[in-house]
């Protein structure tokens, strides 16, 4: 093997930006969430100025904080425990609070966000569908940053492939993310079958679930069609499900496989189609964008 070189990119990015003490550190994963919240806050302020958002511009920050804390962080964390790591969570329930170890499920986040939207709309006496449509319009940017953080963390990698842009993730062989291995060690692990070149599916999802989905929804939000209550929310659920199902064909399944081909992520995404149908038919009967705010006493 003398003179042999690794023919693929070897992932050695560190998930830590600045180490503080013990498990405490500023990590790219946390920065991804923060960036997503800031982007959503900024875009919602723009929508408020255009009179498309039911809440006043000054309330956009509080809205995003509530969504971020209760909807995304709590919902996605609990969702990951229920959908992907139930047994370990039952055995070690305090692991729910170890957010620095990662473990967030987007489908759980959807449930958490939906519940938070209902509470926030009731509290402020505004149309829940207006809040939902505007939030789902800007949410893909959070997905974009989150998937980029997944790539930096060397987690949720793709299926084995030999395409020229394949990536070797040393985390597959239980090396900590950011470990810089000698080239010969990489070659030995490849030849022994402990490492494999894989699709960078995190980047596929970052583009599809993030950039592409955001572009489509932002354009739709500025059309007359988006005046129909629930239009953007239903489009988000249906398009996200479609993109997620497609990307899962390149992602290594991180749970059981159903019917010999369907991953858990694909199975859960099918329920999003049902959710989109419910929103499409129910929203116009329960909300009206022509009267966004109730008069306050």
Residue at 225 is within a domain: yes
Mean pLDDT by runs of 10 across the 297 residues of the chain is 80 93 84 93 96 94 90 76 66 58 68 88 92 95 94 95 97 94 95 97 98 98 94 97 97 89 92 95 73 41
Burial class (CB in 10 A: 0-12, 13-18, 19+), 274: exposed
Tokens of 137: 């319009």
Q: Are residue 264 and residue 143 in the same domain, yes or no?
A: yes
Number of domains in the chain: 2
For residue 171, what are the domain limits? 162-198
Alpha-carbon distance values, 215 to 107, 171, 254, 260 (Å): 21, 33, 28, 34
At 134-172, the pLDDT tens digits run 999 999 999 999 999 999 999 999 999 999 999 999 999
Looking at residue 112, its pLDDT comes to: 85
Looking at residue 109, its pLDDT comes to: 76
Q: Are residue 65 and residue 122 in the same domain, yes or no?
A: yes
Q: Are residue 251 and residue 209 in the same domain, yes or no?
A: yes
Burial class (CB in 10 A: 0-12, 13-18, 19+), 147: buried
Q: Are residue 145 and residue 246 in the same domain, yes or no?
A: yes
Q: Are residue 171 and residue 66 in the same domain, yes or no?
A: no
Alpha-carbon distance values, 104 to 140, 155, 235, 274 (Å): 16, 12, 23, 22
Residue at 215 is within a domain: yes
Q: What is the bridge-based pairing of β-strands 24-27 and 16-21?
A: antiparallel
Distance, in Å, from the CA atom of 122 to the CA atom of 31, rounded to the nearest integer, reads 31
Residue at 63 is within a domain: yes
Distance, in Å, from the CA atom of 190 to the CA atom of 213, rounded to the nearest integer, reads 36
Looking at residue 99, its pLDDT comes to: 57
Q: Are residue 207 and residue 252 in the same domain, yes or no?
A: yes
Q: Are residue 83 and residue 179 in the same domain, yes or no?
A: no
Q: Are residue 247 and residue 181 in the same domain, yes or no?
A: no
Residue with tokens 């291995």: 181
Q: Are residue 78 and residue 179 in the same domain, yes or no?
A: no
**pTM of the entire predicted model:** 0.85
Distance, in Å, from the CA atom of 232 to the CA atom of 138, rounded to the nearest integer, reads 10
Q: End-to-end distance of the chain based on CA atoms, in angstroms?
A: 80
Residue with tokens 């989905």: 213
Q: Are residue 40 and residue 173 in the same domain, yes or no?
A: no
Q: What is the DSSP letter of 166?
A: -
């Amino acid at each position: 093997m003398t003179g042999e070189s690794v023919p693929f990119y070897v992932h050695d990015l560190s998930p830590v930006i600045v180490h503080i003490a013990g498990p405490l550190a500023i990590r790219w994963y946390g920065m991804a969430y923060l960036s997503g919240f800031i982007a959503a806050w900024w875009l919602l302020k723009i929508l408020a100025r255009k009179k498309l958002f039911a809440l006043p511009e000054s309330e956009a920050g509080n809205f995003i904080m509530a969504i971020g804390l209760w909807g995304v962080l709590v919902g996605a964390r609990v969702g990951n425990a229920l959908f992907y790591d139930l047994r370990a969570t039952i055995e070690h329930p305090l692991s729910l609070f170890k957010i620095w170890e990662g473990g967030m499920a987007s489908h759980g986040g959807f449930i958490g966000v939906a519940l938070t939207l209902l509470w926030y709309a009731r509290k402020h006496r505004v149309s829940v569908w207006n809040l939902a449509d505007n939030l789902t319009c800007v949410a893909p940017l959070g997905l974009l940053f989150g998937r980029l953080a997944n790539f930096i963390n060397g987690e949720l990698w793709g299926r084995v492939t030999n395409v020229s842009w394949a990536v070797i993730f040393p985390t597959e062989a239980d090396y900590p993310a950011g470990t810089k291995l000698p080239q010969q060690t990489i070659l030995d692990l490849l030849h022994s079958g402990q490492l494999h070149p894989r699709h960078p599916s995190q980047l596929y999802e970052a583009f599809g679930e993030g950039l592409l989905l955001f572009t489509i929804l932002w354009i739709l939000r500025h059309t007359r069609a988006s005046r129909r209550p629930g239009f953007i929310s239903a489009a988000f659920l249906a398009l996200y499900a479609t993109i997620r199902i497609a990307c899962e064909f390149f992602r290594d399944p991180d749970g059981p496989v159903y019917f010999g081909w369907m991953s858990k992520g694909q199975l859960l995404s099918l329920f999003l189609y049902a959710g989109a149908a419910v929103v499409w038919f129910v929203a116009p009967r329960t909300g009206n964008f022509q009267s966004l705010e109730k008069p306050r006493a």
